[in-house]
Amino acid sequence: MAENKELEDFVRSACVGIQKGVTEGLEIKFPIEFEVAVVIQKEADGLFKLLVVNDSRNYSKQEISKIKFKIGKKLEASSSRIHFFRE
């Protein structure tokens, strides 16, 4: 079972994987939409990390949140909102 990844690492590796997976004659259509399950982890310094959940069986429904966002070449004002919702 893979470890949970920090959200920023997950997004970065997903984008790199998508770019590597695009073969000649194909192109990436932006924006790329993500919907991931995350948990909040409090660090010793008082800061929080968002971790992408790989196995939700290890957490209660109250601990898991889903976030949905789009990334693209350029953030447009109309899509700059981040929507949070519970599963």
Local confidence band at 25 (pLDDT 50, 70, 90 cut-offs): confident
| Res 87: pLDDT | 46
Local confidence band at 51 (pLDDT 50, 70, 90 cut-offs): very high
Quick: pLDDT tens for 72-87.
Answer: 875 455 555 555 555 4
Question: To which residue do tokens 């008082």 refer?
Answer: 46
Domains in the chain, number: 1
The mean of the pLDDT values for the chain is 81
Rounded Cα distance, 6 and 61, in Å: 19
| Res 68: pLDDT | 92
Candidates 2, 7, 9; CA nearest to 55 is 2
Beta-sheet pairing, 48-52 with 65-71 = unpaired
> Once rounded to an integer, what is the mean pLDDT over residues 66-70?
90
Domain containing 65: what range?
A: 5-86
